Structure 1
């Protein structure tokens, strides 16, 4: 069985980070109890010690710390250039600095207990720290750095999950309040103690304290030596060199094993990479124009991303492709100058993937209708139609992305799970159908023919991000899901129906629908056909809604 190293690194990084995060949360909670009493701090400390000072807890915690540090070392070594975005550099720097900051605390507590059996409680620890302002500052900084590193890691992990929007504000609240409460509790606990270590206490433990100091120096030497060895190893030329060429005639010669993305950065060539070169997006992908033979096969992580976007065989992720022979590549997405400016670094500028339900709605025969009416009458009619759409979508919990002529792009799921998004989208379609009927009654006698709509609905992954140039930009959704919904709206017109809804939406909503007409539709640009249920009247779906709730 072949081991997928990128996936293994990813899972180890996540698992070790979660273990350290659990320890930090417990530590902060323990400090925060200083706002209650010193006794409350001691009671929780004793409970937590049963976990973290047990043999499994010790192996799990300190194994995770060591694993996290070694992964940061490995990441530093595998990089063939230190040119990187600030966010990537900050992530690596925090991973490398954390062991230095927590070493003293670990040795003064856990190592001391393991070697000497001395288990100083909060009373003794706070009293000793009160005599050393430098120690207080160092430990406070260490905890804040560890917490920041943990929060960043959690954010990168969950930011694209369906449920992220629902838990975002509570998580932000915890992220801010917990360290504040911990520092306040720590300070109040320190002020409440009336114990001070005597000179005799220091004399009695002088040999033990000297031993702990030597261990601390040894740990610092090990950490510094490990980073130093990696920096030296990076300076040693590695086996083989390859030439990476670009269509404009530019080229860069790098050591074998350098990724195409790293090569672009070494050559100071603009190259998009929204996820920071971790294979979590496809923005850095390149088309291999020559030299694809003999190159390493895609890893499991890269293959999954390429399959998800339906990439052809000559397209690879620049962050994952490490050529072993000369190669010519062309970035698929061009790094336009305005995308490199500061506004493109904001959270939504690069785009975030979400599971959405997308609804396209279009007013049929509007061109002919507008030719028969005065411009002001047409404007009034159009605004009445848009008002009806807006109310139907708002009542259903959706978002109108934009109005396009007499049509509308609507999406659901920014703050809901996928099932809820699908149900809301169907509800909106039913309300729009009813709204059109109400408009026709209101304008009866003024229209030669009743207003009719065509709607297409599809669900799946989509990217929400800011699109445009400079100040003329807007937040919108793009992707295959949006394109498919738009094409299903055209299918509804072809069948002279009101709604064409994909099975992805109906299955996502948990609805068992018996449609009068169900078609397997091959859409241009899609390898797999779409199963669509077609309804002459979208209100037919209302009888299935209650059974799915």
Structure 2
């Protein structure tokens, strides 16, 4: 058993990627930043509130285990930022990414004087620089430091918000949470800066000989000799840090020279275009360097699969996929060794391939704010509605008249779907696919679909009255409703993209709609939708039907008159109330 635990631990550690380490360390630093900013915001209340806030802030963050985690996160996140500067071979991404990198690398240089003066001064000499002492030093003694403090707060916050955006933008909930996160991103630093301003003004108003003797003594601020030592430490750090950045830039140049001397390889895109690049670049980096459009929603972070390529020919000589690449490929369900992520594959020999996603169909700028547009698996309720007898309707009518009547029918159906909270999705001849649950829960989506069926009946009744003088017989319809896991996203080519749903649940809904003819009813609803919507089991007739493409029969409910669904839904609501 101990051996198994050790193996599990080793497997877990090996499964940790640099991206995950960067994410965890960044979240820790963001938590510290939020805590510190909220502490600053107490300055809008009073100096006493600031003193109480900083007491609890220090009590938590200087607690030894927390302090170890925090300072480790600082070191690791900074080191990974420097490594990213070296590792990233291509900077022609969206402008926000190099901005985030530059802002992140500038933070240590901007904040070091504050850290050395406050934290290191306390550790070496026992200085007690709290808010009154810091305000005196920054607002009265050396005012330029106040502007530096403001700049580093803004830079740190913007860097953190960009990182948070990159992390969350592919999450399903992000679109709904984004307005609240934006409000917090604006309010928190604004209140913090106002709190510092109010605190600084309070200190300036209180500045007197007595106040200085009490708050700005050598015990709290240190002697001139101690200040000189701390200044030298700051200078040494800046020289070392900037020297390290310079060394990394030189190393990048040396690597580029070495790669060119090490040989060039040809990348063929399968469309007749070939580029020649140094060994060591990823396929995505090679594409961007040579201005070849290449789809990549996540910006080359191996967080999506839109940069996928299929290798043409033998792929046995290619490097093995990294753990992150293998995870993403496994997530999309591919075991084909010829399919790779362009952002992770670094070929050492000539390579021919073609892109699985065309860049004009999938772009980060178009879809980053709505990941569902690029492909997302979720539960939806599909409703197929078909107009009966449209072929007979077209007999002895002018084409314009037929199109007018069909459009009025589709308009009546679409209005019912929209009023119920659904979304008209595809119009196929005289039929329509509607989707429910794009922004609601499963139960609500099922109830919305049943409500839409009742409204469709009412709207078609109105339409029949309106067209009574022109119709030989009333317009009839058939409805099929089923729910399940589907894939939603933009499907199509270039300017002909359509947001729709793909999956077994959609196909079943279409089959159920076809069954309404043989079962002589207006709607056929899967029992799953009936149960999820909360409709009683004995409220609708039950049948077992064979579905083409399925091995086992399916339990469905038939609805002879969809108007009766309103009473069933109303009854459930009354019971719930």
TM-score bracket for this pair, using the shorter chain length: 0.7 to 0.9
Indicate conservation of the 8 Å contact 1:16/1:64, yes or no: yes
2-structure distance, mates of 1:114, 1:186: 24
Instruction: Tell me which moved more, 86-95 or 484-493.
Output: 484-493
| Cα pair distance change 1:166/1:532, threshold 3 Å | farther
2-structure distance, mates of 1:509, 1:114: 63
| Partner deviation per Cα, 1:419-466 (whole Å, 9 max, x = no partner) | x1x223322321233234445655388564762224354544645569
Q: Match of 1:452?
A: 477
Instruction: Tell me which moved more, 143-152 or 441-450.
Output: 441-450
Q: Match of 1:36?
A: 45
The 5 A counterparts of 1:458-469 are: 458-460=483-485, 462=487
Q: Match of 1:363?
A: 386
Q: Match of 1:83?
A: 92
Deviation at 1:22, TM superposition (A): 0.9
Q: Match of 1:224?
A: 242
Deviation at 1:262, TM superposition (A): 0.8
Q: Match of 2:251?
A: 233
Q: Match of 1:270?
A: 293
User: Structure 1 residue aligned with 2:229, among 181, 191, 211?
Assistant: 211
Deviation at 1:531, TM superposition (A): 9.3
Deviation at 1:358, TM superposition (A): 5.0
2-structure distance, mates of 1:184, 1:105: 19
Q: Match of 1:71?
A: 80
The 5 A counterparts of 1:96-495 are: 96-131=105-140, 132-193=142-203, 194-195=206-207, 201=218, 205-234=223-252, 235-236=254-255, 237=258, 242-311=265-334, 313=336, 314-336=338-360, 344=366, 347=369, 351=373, 354=376, 355=378, 357-365=380-388, 367-372=390-395, 381-382=405-406, 385-401=409-425, 403-416=427-440, 420=441, 422-438=442-458, 443=464, 446=471, 448=473, 451-455=476-480, 457-460=482-485, 462=487, 477-478=499-500, 481-482=501-502, 484-495=504-515
2-structure distance, mates of 1:423, 1:211: 67
Deviation at 1:90, TM superposition (A): 1.9
Q: Match of 1:15?
A: 24
| SS of match in other structure, 1:283 | coil
Indicate conservation of the 8 Å contact 1:500/1:532, yes or no: no
1-structure distance, mates of 2:284, 2:15: 16
Indicate conservation of the 8 Å contact 2:171/2:371, yes or no: no
1-structure distance, mates of 2:532, 2:169: 21
Deviation at 1:414, TM superposition (A): 4.5
Indicate conservation of the 8 Å contact 1:282/1:317, yes or no: yes
2-structure distance, mates of 1:310, 1:296: 20
| Cα pair distance change 1:90/1:353, threshold 3 Å | farther
Give the unaligned 5+ runs of structure 2.
Answer: 1-9, 518-522
2-structure distance, mates of 1:473, 1:217: 59
TM-score (norm 1): 0.82
2-structure distance, mates of 1:519, 1:157: 45
Indicate conservation of the 8 Å contact 1:273/1:284, yes or no: yes
| Cα pair distance change 1:436/1:53, threshold 3 Å | closer
Give the unaligned 5+ runs of structure 1.
Answer: 524-528
TM-score (norm 2): 0.79
| Partner deviation per Cα, 1:198-256 (whole Å, 9 max, x = no partner) | 89859952122122212212222332233223222222325675443332444344444
Instruction: Tell me which moved more, 320-329 or 431-440.
Output: 431-440
| SS of match in other structure, 1:258 | coil
Deviation at 1:409, TM superposition (A): 4.0
Task: Please tell me whether Structure 1 or Structure 2 has the larger radius of gyration of its CA atoms.
Answer: 2
Matched, 1:62 2:71: yes
| Cα pair distance change 1:513/1:166, threshold 3 Å | farther
1-structure distance, mates of 2:281, 2:531: 44
1-structure distance, mates of 2:132, 2:53: 14
| SS of match in other structure, 1:216 | helix
Indicate conservation of the 8 Å contact 1:522/1:530, yes or no: no
| SS of match in other structure, 1:104 | helix
2-structure distance, mates of 1:466, 1:223: 49
Indicate conservation of the 8 Å contact 1:51/1:57, yes or no: yes
How many residues align structurally? 532
2-structure distance, mates of 1:392, 1:399: 10
Deviation at 1:140, TM superposition (A): 0.9
Indicate conservation of the 8 Å contact 2:478/2:514, yes or no: no
| SS of match in other structure, 1:536 | strand
| SS of match in other structure, 1:411 | strand
2-structure distance, mates of 1:161, 1:297: 28
2-structure distance, mates of 1:414, 1:214: 59
Indicate conservation of the 8 Å contact 1:360/1:485, yes or no: no
2-structure distance, mates of 1:152, 1:456: 42
User: Structure 1 residue aligned with 2:544, among 512, 517, 535?
Assistant: 517
| Cα pair distance change 1:456/1:437, threshold 3 Å | closer
